[in-house]
Structure 1
Amino acid sequence: MEQGTALSPPGEHGEHHVQHVDEFSITELVNRQIAATAPQRLAEIVAALTRHLHDFAREVRLSESELMAGIQFLTQVGQTCDDRRQEFILLSDVLGLSMLVTAQNNRKPAGCTEATVFGPFHVEDSPKHALGDDIANGAQGEPCFVRGAVKGLGGEPVANARLEVWQADEDGFYDVQYAGLDQSRARATLQTGTDGVYHFRSILANSYPIPHDGPVGKLLAALGRHPWRPAHLHFMITADGYETLITHVFRNGDRYLESDAVFGVRESLIAEWIRHPPGPGPDGSVVPVPFYTLDFDFVLNPLPGAAGKTRN
């Protein structure tokens, strides 16, 4: 076979039939090739992406210089990624894509705690702490006591549920953002008791900006958007017989609740942080400065077929 003959089968008299290409026919041509060779699910995804991408270019009449600017922007996003920072996740977050995918993949029955975005600062195998421990471990911030219960949709206590908790300090940084810090701060793994109750001490959650010194930050500035997230605690809760829950608890009254840079706020996840004067804390200790308390219960969704089973 001569080189190149596989690209376009010859017609009856050896001539080639090349499809006319213009700004409209190009979409069908691309997707025909995708459908002919790609695995089914990959073909479905890439073909849909192609249709929407081409429709977008036609709708805004994208210029060649604008296309090149977009390519340069995505190149810069990739160049900003390293083992401590994922700029593409940040881009997905600020465009609302992360929250859209979270919402459509975590539909739950009424009464269950809603999910929200995972965020880029979770760490596997965070230190295990006993209930009641101070997990701040030196993180700066006003003292805060957090307590509540993990329940099933039927109101049953969920014993031995695993809670992973993490948050930023009063300066708006997570422990992993500090170069050279060799210990976890304001981050822990806890386990509920037989009654499903959890409680620990940490620091007050405050609003903070997402990293905005890279290309995503420049995009936000160009759009006239701020980089701030409202104050929140992260939770990931796993328990036998229940769906894993990844969520935040947001501090009521925060100025950024209605303009979260990553669109992660859900009304059911907003809670009250109550301020107290110096004195006895909920754990019986004497707190010499003003402190806060947060009470929040989580309701997990049972896995299919798990309802009614005994859980330890």
Structure 2
Amino acid sequence: MSHIVREQAAREDALVERVRASFAATPDPRLKHLLEELTTSLHDYIRRVRLTESEWARVIDFLTRTGHITTETRQEFVLLSDVLGISMQTVIVGNPAEGDATEPTVFGPFFLNDSPRIDLGGDLSGGAAGEPAWVEGTVTDTHGVPIPGARIEVWEADEEGLYDVQHDEYAVYGRAHMFADERGAYRFWGLFPTPYPIPDDGPVGDLLTATGRSPYRAAHLHFMVTAPGYRTLVTHIFVRGDVLLESDSVFGVQDSLIYDWIHHSAGAPTPDGRDLGGAPWASTRFDIVLAVGEATDYADLMRQEP
């Protein structure tokens, strides 16, 4: 290594240490640790790829545009975190495996607080277009003991691949919550899930285009399940055979979350005797297993009011 190269490396090392040292008086030890490690990782990246000033300016512009397009009902930073796999990695790190507990996956940007409550067996579709789908199951702990009263929140897109908040004239549909009965059982009518693209008309879409990636998500239903004394579960269920399972744009697919769905012919009897007017319908069973632990208030962390 030449003298010039050693001198350059020494200057770069010195800057990293100066920045790390600037956090020495941080009262919160966890915050101090996070900032020091973030500094080290970011500076290592800059040095390893020899990032240029013009490239960094483009990054700043990208992040600025990401902030500008973010609204109360569109969270572009969540989309960015999702497509980089960061959201999924934090989910995996933050939810260590425990027995046969249901695997979690990404939260997504379309959760809203204060969804309507429906009775067990009710319909959360809100009149949205799509194939009616019956979903049922139980909520238990890792020992198979039912969890009565568990809150089950569900949200999904319509057959066009749009969530209610994506329409200009907002009206609630495709989302609701219910509570498991004394046996831990739940059931509801929704819509058979449809593949759809994440919003790709902004900076995140530009990133996907530049890298030759598809914005499409595999078809899924969102679930958030909570009960006192149990770890909050945020997860999806997917459709076996969906061609997008291997290329889900936010890396949210887990093998254990891929389910078989039965498609019933028009006029076939429904589980609760509901008259669907002769329309075909689908059904699946999703048994949910919660791990013991501290609940996370995702509704507060991801608060987005319509």
TM-score (normalizing by structure 2): 0.89
How far the C-alpha of 1:241 sits from its partner, in A, is: 2.7
Greater mean deviation of Cα atoms: 106-115 or 220-229: 106-115
**Kindly, what percent of the aligned residue pairs are identical?**
48
Aligned in 2, Cα 1:37/1:234: closer, same or farther, shift over 3 Å? closer
Deviations along 1:164-204, whole A, 9 cap, x unmatched? 1100111111111112223x211111111111111111111
How far the C-alpha of 1:25 sits from its partner, in A, is: 2.2
Instruction: Specify every segment of 5 or more residues in structure 2 that has no aligned partner in the other structure, as ranges.
Output: 1-8, 295-306
2:157 is the alignment partner of 1:158: no
Partner of 1:40: 29
Letter aligned with residue 205 of structure 2: G
How far the C-alpha of 1:36 sits from its partner, in A, is: 4.3
**Aligned equivalents of 1:162 and 1:41: distance in 2?**
32
**Aligned equivalents of 1:289 and 1:114: distance in 2?**
33
Greater mean deviation of Cα atoms: 157-166 or 26-35: 26-35
**Aligned equivalents of 2:186 and 2:221: distance in 1?**
14
**Aligned equivalents of 2:207 and 2:93: distance in 1?**
26
**Aligned equivalents of 2:187 and 2:25: distance in 1?**
57
* Aligned positions of 1:201-216 closer than 5 A: 201-216=189-204
Instruction: Specify every segment of 5 or more residues in structure 1 that has no aligned partner in the other structure, as ranges.
Output: 1-19, 305-312
2:84 is the alignment partner of 1:75: no
How far the C-alpha of 1:303 sits from its partner, in A, is: 3.4
Partner of 1:119: 108
Greater mean deviation of Cα atoms: 106-115 or 228-237: 106-115
1:223 to 205, 211, 233: 211
**Aligned equivalents of 1:70 and 1:29: distance in 2?**
23
Partner of 2:158: 169
Root-mean-square deviation over aligned CA pairs: 1.6
Letter aligned with residue 123 of structure 1: L
Partner of 1:263: 251
Letter aligned with residue 299 of structure 1: V
How far the C-alpha of 1:40 sits from its partner, in A, is: 2.5
How far the C-alpha of 1:222 sits from its partner, in A, is: 0.3
Aligned in 2, Cα 1:108/1:65: closer, same or farther, shift over 3 Å? same
How far the C-alpha of 1:142 sits from its partner, in A, is: 0.7
Letter aligned with residue 138 of structure 2: A
* Aligned positions of 1:1-312 closer than 5 A: 22-36=11-25, 39-182=28-171, 184-278=172-266, 279-287=268-276, 288-303=278-293
Letter aligned with residue 198 of structure 2: I
**Aligned equivalents of 2:231 and 2:65: distance in 1?**
37
**Aligned equivalents of 1:303 and 1:47: distance in 2?**
29
**Aligned equivalents of 1:215 and 1:38: distance in 2?**
36
**Aligned equivalents of 1:101 and 1:273: distance in 2?**
29
Greater mean deviation of Cα atoms: 34-43 or 93-102: 34-43
How far the C-alpha of 1:116 sits from its partner, in A, is: 0.8
Greater mean deviation of Cα atoms: 173-182 or 94-103: 173-182
**Aligned equivalents of 2:36 and 2:65: distance in 1?**
26
Q: Secondary structure at 1:41's aligned position in 2?
A: helix
TM-score (normalizing by structure 1): 0.87
Flag the structure with larger Rg: 1
How far the C-alpha of 1:34 sits from its partner, in A, is: 2.1
**Aligned equivalents of 1:137 and 1:54: distance in 2?**
50
**Aligned equivalents of 2:191 and 2:284: distance in 1?**
11
**Aligned equivalents of 2:176 and 2:287: distance in 1?**
18
Deviations along 1:46-79, whole A, 9 cap, x unmatched? 1111111111111111111111111111111111
Q: Secondary structure at 1:253's aligned position in 2?
A: coil
